[in-house]
């Protein structure tokens, strides 16, 4: 492998790590922080919070969408990095990851619909109480949409963790932790759909999603081992 090719794969690894870490604050702001500030349980207080902090409410949607765009580039970088390990598993990883993105985009329509309803209070078609109740319904639908989308977030981590575990150029422990993180998301999705309000476990199982990008960003990959895996994969292809 030429020096240029080695530098390229190092850049890909660090790009993947950087994108993974960059995506986190956008997701946190849009999915967790904004609702925690504005959504207060009762419809009247929540509606008042939204209308007095409309920019913050809209920025939550924009932040979530930016995170999804970063996610697209991240998945492609990981595919290039891990494809030599097992192309079929790498393709599965990409498919499962990308399936959740259009769902996440469409789910933000619920967020905007709640704002649209509250902004139409002067139309006179519905009373303020009715509009507030409908807005809360759309906010609840958005939360449910996030839970459903979380299924794909858990699923894509399973082939990712397997690829990392089998790679040989990344620590096996990282692969195990990523799989545990994926299982945590899946368990949370199932429990939230069956028993809403039950405590989540992904807040304790996400460590692999922190350590993997940190490793990629700081340590990168074992380039010599990556080269050998790539060569083995090339030689194994049927003529």
DSSP string, the chain: --HHHHHHHHHHHHHHHHHHHHHHHHHIIIIIIHHHHH--SSHHHHHHHHHHTHHHHHHHHHHHHHHHHHHHHHHHHHHHHHTTT-HHHHHHHHHHHHHHHHHHHHHHHHHHHHHHHHHTGGG-SS-HHHHHHHHHHHHHHHHHHHHHHHHHHHHHHHHHHHHHHHHSSS-HHHHHHHHHHHHHHHHHHHHHHHSTTPPPSHHHHTHHHHHHHHHHHHT---HHHHHHHHHHHHHHS--
Q: Which of the pair, 122 or 170, is modelled with greater confidence? A: 170
State the pLDDT confidence band at 3, using cuts at 50, 70 and 90.
low
State the pLDDT confidence band at 199, using cuts at 50, 70 and 90.
confident
Tell me the average pLDDT across 29-56.
91
| pLDDT value at residue 141 | 94
| pLDDT value at residue 84 | 94
Q: Which residues contact 141 (CB under 8 A, 6 or more apart)?
A: 110
State the pLDDT confidence band at 183, using cuts at 50, 70 and 90.
very high
Domain boundaries, the chain: 3-236
Tell me the average pLDDT across 144-168.
95
In angstroms, how far is CA 19 from the centroid of its own chain? 11
């Amino acid at each position: 492998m030429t020096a240029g090719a080695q530098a390229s794969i190092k850049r890909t690894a660090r790009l993947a790590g950087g994108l993974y870490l960059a995506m986190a604050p956008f997701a946190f702001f849009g999915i967790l922080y904004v609702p925690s500030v504005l959504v207060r349980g009762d419809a009247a207080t929540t509606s008042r919070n939204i209308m007095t902090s409309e920019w913050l409410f809209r920025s939550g949607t924009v932040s979530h969408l930016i995170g999804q765009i970063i996610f697209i580039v991240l998945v492609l970088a990981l595919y290039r990095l891990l494809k030599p390990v097992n192309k079929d598993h790498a393709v599965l990883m990409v498919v499962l990851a990308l399936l959740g993105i259009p769902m996440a985009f469409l789910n933000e329509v619920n967020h905007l619909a709640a704002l649209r309803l509250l902004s139409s209070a002067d139309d006179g078609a519905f009373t303020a109480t009715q509009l507030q109740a409908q807005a809360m319904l759309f906010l609840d639908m958005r939360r449910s949409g996030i839970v459903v989308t979380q299924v794909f977030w858990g699923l894509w981590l399973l082939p990712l963790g397997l690829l990392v575990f089998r790679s040989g150029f990344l620590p096996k422990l990282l692969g195990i932790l990523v799989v545990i993180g994926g299982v945590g998301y899946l368990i949370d999705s199932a429990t939230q759909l069956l028993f809403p309000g039950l405590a989540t476990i992904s807040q304790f199982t996400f460590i692999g999603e922190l350590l993997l990008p940190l490793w990629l960003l700081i340590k990168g990959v074992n380039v010599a081992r990556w080269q050998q895996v790539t060569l083995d994969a090339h030689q194994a292809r049927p003529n």
